[in-house]
């Protein structure tokens, strides 16, 4: 169990690094979307962030009849466990926070803290992309290019991949333009080989 928690923590750190140079940025944004964090989204772990995490931790257990009030308060550490981070991202995704929807989609595509599920991954990534979030489109392009295998798999689709890479590029995400060019080069090569 400890090894699984460590793997989850490392995977979440990797996603946070991809999302922002400052890891706390994602946590603060997710907490703010839930109305628990009222400070500036500055990526710095401060007292406001710890207090917001404590409120979130209490919200997770407040209706648990098996815990005393003291036990509930003892769980308010101000530091998220990997499982609490997954719960936070899921809760923020549920209230239409595009960045959390993107992260939650990637988590479902990669099996980070949740089982791999192609349809759920695409659902969350599409929600993020619908808000004009370029990383949502870019991730959809990547996953449609490669497919997502596991529960409810998503087979590869060059058409969908091209559409989402194009949308991300139009929103100014530069790596999407390169991915789109590589996708077209692959199609041209395949056409030459079959002709």
pLDDT of 184: 85
| Residues of the chain under the 50 pLDDT cut | 19-21
Q: How many Å apart are CA 139 and CA 11, to the nearest integer?
A: 16
pTM of the predicted model as reported, rounded to 2 decimal places:
0.85
180 contacts 162 by C-beta, under 8 angstroms: yes
Closest CA relative to residue 62, chosen from 47, 48, 75, 80: 75
CA distances from 189 to 3, 113, 141, 182, 195 (A): 43, 38, 19, 10, 10
Q: What is the pLDDT of residues 107-154, one digit of tens each?
A: 999 888 888 999 999 999 999 999 999 999 999 999 999 999 989 999
Structure token digits, residue 177? 């333009």
Closest CA relative to residue 145, chosen from 172, 179, 111, 106: 179
pLDDT of 193: 72
């Amino acid at each position: 169990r400890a090894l699984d928690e460590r793997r989850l923590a490392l995977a979440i750190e990797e996603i946070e690094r991809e999302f922002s140079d400052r890891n706390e940025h994602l946590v603060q944004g997710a907490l703010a979307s839930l109305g628990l964090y009222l400070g500036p989204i500055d990526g710095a772990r401060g007292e406001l962030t710890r207090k917001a995490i404590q409120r979130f931790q209490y919200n997770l257990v407040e209706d648990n009849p098996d815990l005393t009030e003291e036990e509930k308060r003892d769980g308010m550490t101000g530091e998220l466990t990997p499982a609490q981070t997954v719960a936070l991202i899921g809760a923020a995704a549920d209230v239409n926070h595009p960045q959390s929807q993107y992260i939650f989609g990637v988590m479902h595509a990669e099996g980070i803290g949740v089982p791999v599920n192609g349809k759920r991954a695409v659902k969350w990534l599409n929600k993020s992309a619908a808000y004009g979030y370029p990383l949502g489109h870019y991730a959809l392009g990547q996953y449609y290019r490669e497919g997502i295998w596991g529960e409810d798999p998503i087979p590869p689709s060059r058409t969908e991949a091209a559409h989402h890479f194009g949308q991300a590029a139009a929103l100014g995400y530069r790596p999407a333009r390169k991915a789109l060019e590589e996708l077209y080069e692959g199609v041209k090569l395949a056409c030459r080989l079959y002709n």
